[in-house]
Structure 1
Amino acid sequence: MQLDGRLSRMLHILIHMGHAEGPITSETAAEMLNTNPVVVRRTMAGLRDAGHVRSVKGHGGGWTLASSLDRITMLDIYRAVGEPRIFSIGLADPQPKCLVEQAVNASMSSALGDAEAMLIARLAQVTLAEIASEFEARSKGSSSDFRRH
């Protein structure tokens, strides 16, 4: 099963946008994310619709943040990319006749619901500015070029 990387990809590009001196084109973002510009545009459209980014067409255009990194949380972006499924585990049969499987389903559903609620609460607490600060701390003393990664 392939993992859904939209959330981490958009967090990545938004941090770059927060440090950029101007708009970032879909082509530049695609190069940073090792993907296709069409994929970037489709995913960024959800962020634009949610009010987190703006787009300007034409020469000198591209994507910019609509608000500062400290006003955007991981949860905001999770929602803007369509709330991808958090867990790859699930119920074998959601409507079982077997009483044992019914008990297993009840226990699994409860545990997964609790875990998802905890994760959602944590995503709501972390701003993109905090992630950017982590990057800045890691980049001190590093020869890595921020614009190329």
Structure 2
Amino acid sequence: MQRDTRLARLLHVLIHMHLRGGASTSETIALMLHTNPVFVRRTMAVLRESGYVRSTGGPGGGWVLACDLNDLTVKDIYEAIGHAAPFVIGPADDNRACPVEAAVNDYINEALDSAESALLQLLGEKRLSEIAHEVKSSKPRKQIK
């Protein structure tokens, strides 16, 4: 089963944008993510609607940060994306009249609710500026372009 990598990819893009400064074109971001510019524009539009980036036209145009990374948490970006569910496991729906299935589903739902709460708390505690600082203070494996 393929994982949803949008959160990791968008965090990657936003931190690169911060570290590089200036505008980043959809083409540049597409090369970074090994995808195509149309996908980038569609994905970045979600962040634009949330007020985290804006697009500029003309020479030197592209995507620019519309806010300080210190004001953004990982949870903010997670919520902007609009995930349906953070985990791939879920309750069964084979036999709603079965008391065993109901008991198992109750347990699975409780565990998932607890795990999601813990995940959202952790995501809310990490600012994008902290991740950028970690990148700048470590020895990068590859040069930041």
TM-score, with normalisation over the residues of structure 2?
0.94
Instruction: Give ranges in structure 1 of 5+ residues lacking alignment.
Output: none
Q: Runs (4+) of structure 1 moved beyond 6 Å? A: none
Shift of 1:77: 0.5
Among 128, 137, 142, the alignment partner of 1:144 is 142
Contact 2:74 2:123 in 1 (8 A): yes
CA RMSD of aligned residues (A): 1.4
Q: Secondary structure at the match of 1:133?
A: helix
Q: Secondary structure at 1:146's aligned position in 2? A: coil
SS at match of 2:54: strand
**Which residue in 2 is equivalent to 1:57?**
57
- Residue pairs, 1:1-149, within 5 angstroms: 1-93=1-93, 96-139=96-139, 142=140, 144-147=142-145
Question: Aligned-pair distance for 1:40?
Answer: 0.8
Identity %: 50
Unpaired segments ≥5 residues, structure 2: none
- Secondary structure of the residue that 2:64 maps to in structure 1? strand
Q: TM-score, normalised by structure 1?
A: 0.92
Change (3 A) 1:143 1:106: closer
The one-letter amino acid of 1:144's match is K
- Could you tell me how far apart the structure 2 residues matched to 1:95 and 1:80 are? 35
Q: 2: CA distance between counterparts of 1:143 and 1:130?
A: 18
In the alignment of these two chains, the number of paired residues is 145
SS class of match (2:83): coil
